Structure 1
Amino acid sequence: MQGKRVLVGISGGIAAYKVCEVISTLAKQGVAVRAILTDSAQAFITPLTISTLCRHAAYTDASFWQAHDRPLHIELGEWAELLVLAPLTANTLAKLVYGMADNLLTNTVLASTCPVLLAPAMNTDMWEQVPVQRNWQTVQTQPRMHTLAPGSGILACDRVGTGRMAEPVAMLAQIESLLYTSGQRDLVGKHLLISAGGTREFLDPVRFLGNPSTGKMGIALAQAALHRGATVTLVHGVLDTSIVALEGVQTLAVTSAAEMQQTLLKCFPNADWTIMAAAVADVKPASYSSEKLPKRSLPSSLPLAPVPDIVAELGALKQPHQKLIGFAAQTGDIVTPALEKLKQKKLDAIAANPIDQPNSGFGSDSNQAILLDHRGRKHVIAPCSKLHMAHQLLAFIHAI
């Protein structure tokens, strides 16, 4: 993200306050951020606030009419690698559809060629009006336009319904994706099946064998695939409850390895690529008690039974048009066991993932890996965000 250039266009809506977090986070990550406020936006948030967060003067329509070496909208349009319009009002949406340019923001959109991320926000009744919905569908036919549909909940007007602007965490994820891909949708038409999170194998209703997986890597893979145009199904075990919901992704929750096996086998025939990022148990208690065992009744040694080897089963079922990718979470030598797993389970590629390195593996927001494929290719992913790693993995698979 360091040195990337993002131009944020703020229209008049109460959701403008959410944009402050987006701008602040981007600036802290080393992104060069510039912002344009429409006249109505300034009724909700001041240019001083935005300029302070950007570490650069904010632009308004007053700036538009001042003398510049080059026309300001041309300069800004050429400068930006990504435009983010948030909140996008019904008024600005209509202008985008009809190519209108009556202020600095809309002139800059027309003077740019980079991807544009749209995050609308408005009252539910406004959002559901036929002209607004028609404009929303129309603007999405423009190849440059990428969208974050509004969510549902209680609005500033106390109405409960659709119209809430996407949360900053979702906006930041899509901004990172767009800066990586430059807006390329290279997975359109692909159906990706992704597993995530840890499974739990219960001894009784309150005790289980598990692992520290939070599902963050699988979530990042689902986000990256969705941002690149894929249809995504996410089969997940236990996830970090702080992880944002994935709008546009089909999510199927499971608990045990057996439930994950059943769900994945059902979904697998329709998948073009299957990525097994879940931390699935290897064993389970040999017996299960439907009632909580008293402490005095707990066995001094716990008999274990194997659970299904889901990856091997999918490898045996894989068709020529399908790709199956695994993960190998390892300590020490990560390559040798990963290569063995790649061959034994008939994988197309595998991510050898060190879990004994700082800021990588379970629960971390960052990760690193060595990618290996069945033809002997190798790609090293240096420590980076899990979303960045997800994009590198998807690019690696695409090249197979």
Structure 2
Amino acid sequence: MKPEQLPNQGWEGRRVLVGVGGGIAAYKVCQVISTLFKSGVDVRVILTQSAQEFITPLTLTTLSRHPAYTDSAFWQPTHTRPLHIELGEWAQVFVIAPLTANTVGKLAHGLADNLLTNTVLASGCPILLAPAMNTQMWEQQSVQRNWQQLLRDSRYHHVGPDAGLLACASVADVKRHRIGSGRMAEPDEILASVRSLLHTNGKRDLVGKRVLISTGGTQEYLDPVRFIGNPSTGKMGLALAQAALHRGATVTLIHAPITWEVPSGIRAIAVVSAAQMGQAMLECFPDADVIVMAAAVADVKPAEYTPEKLPKKLLPNSLPLEPVPDILAELGQRKQPHQCLIGFAAQTGDIVKPALEKLRNKKLDAIAANPIDKPNSGFGSDTNQAIFLDKQGRQVEIEPCSKLQLAHHLFDFVGNIPRE
């Protein structure tokens, strides 16, 4: 059966409006705007009056390659249509970063006294909020009341705030490593959220769902410094976790050793070996609605472990191995009718036939077969491609795209799988 082919829908030509509030975190927005522009996104920027105390319109004009708008352009219109109406209708995603306590209050109560807040009311697209303020301010009951009221509106999505050392920290705070909540999310997290919204248009189809994901390459140790492993970096699992989180799920990520930090909002469980991953997966499995086994789990391990480093001269010429338990097969045996179990099959050559065998033998609902012998695909890359297959016989081919896009395509695909 020839797979249905979905075109690669990149970011080129998509339209993102960025509203910059007054806060020292405004400098982080420069990276967001620059990265969006470099990826082909059409970017427009609005600065509040207080934002101009921290960053100039010229800076953001230069980065976005388009004049940055201020209140002076709003109150002295030179456009044939009102500027806030034009921008509100133009935007596909609206980002407000940093979001201040003042703007939180205005948005919560539908107030509009500047270009930014008027454009919010004149727009209909998803709005991504990235709060940033002093911990004491963020934790005020009035601010939290306004914040919770905002989040009850389905248009509003948020990233952060995170906990960390804030710009208002004193020298003593720095020395004592004091941290507090209210720190704006990092540019990479904001960018991932923007890209998810561009794909989903704000759809939250996983609200109320618990998604369990494994990622990374397990390590099976011979002694304290030597192990059998693989080159998996866990980036695909990270993308799956972000996509699920952005679609409203409660996400648990069980990961083998990784070099990146797990974004806020995702429950992370760190493991090393296949045995540890299997134990963690089995413990979390009963509560999960969707399970994605994206980890590159070892097939074998050294038959014996030596607790002290082996001298080179004592290393065996042939290494006795033994199989490790098949985590995915065990999950397939335990799967309940309401659960959706998804596997990954990293293959060379013909990727469909072995993926179909794995789908059937391990009682999966769906599987993503991805080639690791093609450029910019598989282990360590920022992009990927795959053929999705399900137990109903559907096959959909995803052309090379970012791993976050592939993750969203996968959740789109499994969303249509008939349940037992």
Normalised by the shorter chain, which TM-score bucket?
over 0.9
* Correspondence for 2:3: none
Q: In the TM superposition, what are the counterparts of 1:1-400 in structure 2 within 5 Å?
A: 1-65=11-75, 66-158=77-169, 160-239=179-258, 241=259, 243-400=260-417
Query: Could you list the per-position Cα deviations for residues 23-60 of structure 1 after superposition, in whole angstroms to 9, with x for gaps in the alignment?
Result: 00000001000000011101110000001111100000
Shift of 1:248: 1.1
Shift of 1:247: 1.0
Shift of 1:82: 0.7
What one-letter code is carried by the residue in structure 2 that aligns with 1:332?
G
Q: Distance in 1 between matches of 2:336 and 2:85?
A: 51
Q: Distance in 2 between matches of 1:357 and 1:116?
A: 37
- Any conservation in 1 of the 2:241–2:253 contact (CA below 8 Å)? yes
Shift of 1:157: 1.4
Runs of 4+ in 1 over 6 A off after TM superposition: none
Shift of 1:273: 1.0
- Any conservation in 2 of the 1:150–1:162 contact (CA below 8 Å)? yes
Provide TM-score, normalisation by structure 2.
Answer: 0.94
Provide TM-score, normalisation by structure 1.
Answer: 0.98
Q: Distance in 1 between matches of 2:165 and 2:257?
A: 28
Count of equivalent residues = 398
Shift of 1:245: 2.5
Q: Distance in 2 between matches of 1:105 and 1:206?
A: 56
What one-letter code is carried by the residue in structure 2 that aligns with 1:54?
S
Which stretch has the larger CA shift, 351-360 or 154-163? Answer: 154-163
What one-letter code is carried by the residue in structure 2 that aligns with 1:185?
R
Query: Could you list the per-position Cα deviations for residues 267-300 of structure 1 after superposition, in whole angstroms to 9, with x for gaps in the alignment?
Result: 1111111100000000000111111111111100
Q: Distance in 2 between matches of 1:67 and 1:283?
A: 69
The RMSD of aligned alpha carbons is 0.8
SS at match of 2:203: coil
Q: Distance in 1 between matches of 2:261 and 2:295?
A: 18
- Any conservation in 2 of the 1:195–1:275 contact (CA below 8 Å)? yes
- Any conservation in 2 of the 1:196–1:215 contact (CA below 8 Å)? yes
Query: Could you list the per-position Cα deviations for residues 375-400 of structure 1 after superposition, in whole angstroms to 9, with x for gaps in the alignment?
Result: 11001010000000000001111110
Which stretch has the larger CA shift, 196-205 or 66-75? Answer: 66-75
Shift of 1:205: 0.7
- Any conservation in 2 of the 1:169–1:244 contact (CA below 8 Å)? no
Query: Could you list the per-position Cα deviations for residues 86-120 of structure 1 after superposition, in whole angstroms to 9, with x for gaps in the alignment?
Result: 00000011000111110000000000010000001
Q: Which runs of 5+ in 2 are unaligned?
A: 1-10, 171-178
What one-letter code is carried by the residue in structure 2 that aligns with 1:24?
S
- Any conservation in 2 of the 1:7–1:83 contact (CA below 8 Å)? yes
Query: Could you list the per-position Cα deviations for residues 324-350 of structure 1 after superposition, in whole angstroms to 9, with x for gaps in the alignment?
Result: 110000011111111111111111111
Q: Distance in 2 between matches of 1:253 and 1:244?
A: 11
